[in-house]
Structure 1
Amino acid sequence: MDSNADTIADKLFVAWRDRQAIDCEPELAASRDVDRGRAIQAALNALFVKAGRKPIGWKLGLTSQTALDMFGASEPMIGVIYADTMLEDGASLPPGAVISPRIEGEILLELASVPQAGASNAELVASLASVSAAYEIADSRFLGWPRAIGGATADNACCGWLMRAPQSVAPADADFENTTMVITANGATISEGRASACLGSVLQVYRWFVVDSHRRGRQLQAGDIILTGAMGPAIAMEASATYHLECPGLGEARLEFGGAA
């Protein structure tokens, strides 16, 4: 384990607590060393739990080929989702709650059971309790954001906030490839995408996550939620704005940022 993992995790924890980016780790922000990033993330998540935060699931990032190439990654990255980051539909997020937020439209899965590593498509679908649309408000504790997979992984995969659409569908009725996503800000379209942007199918993203979890001994359980990656471009947020997410067949959600009416 990186001998400096605890020290860097301490810095990231303070940055999260104070909502103040750090600029003292430029080498890490540009690092492609995933193992080092995982070690730092583990230390950071231990600090989060010690501070009373409750893990409720997993955030997957870099699930499109464009994102993988941009961050110099060969596979997606994973972070931990905490209960205190969940926003209700229509909630207002104050600018002081984030550092450098980027909004994304994603599909959220909820586990009913934990499938085996070699599960078939039908078994993967049967292991899900529900499928929903969701916002992720990604954020980073690094000044200027990480530029590579190692730094992003260390920063708990740039987990920020999450809003789950109040609607959901039965997994058997979900379209894991052709579901579309549109985000508007004050009525203007800012991001569009499709589920197939995520490794060809969100079900394939889920398969990768299940296999990786068994390989690494990650403890999944019924009730966990899983964010499966951005279906379209991540867009820097601007206050004041009303953001609206629509995924036909999966639901919609509205987010106020910076006191928009």
Structure 2
Amino acid sequence: MTTDIDTHLDAAGRRAGDGPGDAVEAAASRLTGAAATRTPCAPVRDLLGDTGIDAAYEVQRRLAAARTAAGARRVGAKIGLTAPAVQEQFGVFEPDFGMLFDDMVFAHGEPVALDRFLQPRAEGEIAFVLGSDLDLPGATVADVLRATAFVLPAIEIVDSRISRWELTIADTVADNASSGAVVLGTVPHTLNGLDLAQVGMTLYRDEEPVSFGAGHACLGSPVVAVTWLARELARRGQPLRAGDVVMSGALGPMVEITCGGRYRLELDGLGSVESRIEENV
């Protein structure tokens, strides 16, 4: 569990030591400090160096463990960097994942306080809710389809503790895949006869369309994206379980959130979901 001393280590100028464990600890402290002080920090890639993507996921794991120790409950996972439009925005061309916790999940129309975020952006997605475990390192598309109880329209509010969103894959992985919050629709849809690759998306900000996309932008299909995630999490000993919510990845470009407002996502055949971003809540 992260202590107050750990929180302020980066502000005191702590750097990585001689080994990968020191680098991981320093990166975790830097991100924890940014979240605690609500001040975006420098990227952590300078700390992790050549220790590889596994070191970044170890940072994520330690931060998730601290969050759980503080009382949060893991409720699923999210996939990031699936849409070409989002990959182009950051110059990162491979997917990643992060954890979802209960205090990150909001319902359709529920107020979401703007000041809980540092640098928020909105994106339209399809959320999967699992009816059974997905604990196979070699999970197939058929396994994912069989395990999915239903899907929901969803808005993800991504956020970054890294200053100005200047990210590499190591930075966003360590920062829990740049997670913030998710807003879920309330009308479930089963996958029977539904081709998610063909689902069109429009995201509105105060009735103005600001982002367009489709299911095929998400690794070819959101089902393919969830299959990738199931394999990765099983391989890393963190398998998806029955009841988990899985945010399957952006269907189009993300949109910066600079002030309060209404964000509404329309998905062909799946209905809509609305997020109310409010200031001074």
TM-score (norm 2): 0.84
1:145-168 CA-to-partner distances (Å, cap 9, x unmatched) read 242100000101001010001111
1:167 maps to 2:191? no
User: How is 1:1-261 mapped onto 2 (pairs within 5 angstroms)?
Assistant: 1-23=20-42, 25=44, 27=46, 33-68=52-87, 71=90, 73=92, 75-115=94-134, 116-259=136-279
In 2, the alpha carbon distance for the partners of 1:168 and 1:197 equals 22
Question: How far 1:95 sits from its partner (Å)?
Answer: 2.2
Question: 1:195 is matched by which residue type in structure 2?
Answer: G
1:110-163 CA-to-partner distances (Å, cap 9, x unmatched) read 111124444554442111111111000000111112421000001010010100
Q: How many residues align?
A: 260
Q: What secondary structure does 1:232 align onto? A: coil
Partners of 1:60 and 1:229 within 8 A in 2: yes
Q: What secondary structure does 2:202 align onto? A: strand
Partners of 1:131 and 1:168 within 8 A in 2: yes
In 2, the alpha carbon distance for the partners of 1:182 and 1:31 equals 40
TM-score (norm 1): 0.90
1:205-236 CA-to-partner distances (Å, cap 9, x unmatched) read 12212222232222321001111110010110
Larger deviation, residues 188-197 vs 21-30 = 21-30
CA RMSD of aligned residues (A): 2.5
In 1, the alpha carbon distance for the partners of 2:244 and 2:262 equals 29
In our comparison, the structure showing a higher alpha carbon Rg is 2
Larger deviation, residues 100-109 vs 140-149 = 140-149
Percent sequence identity over matched residues?
29
Unaligned runs of 5+ in 2: 1-19
In 2, the alpha carbon distance for the partners of 1:227 and 1:24 equals 25
In 1, the alpha carbon distance for the partners of 2:93 and 2:162 equals 22
In 2, the alpha carbon distance for the partners of 1:243 and 1:216 equals 35
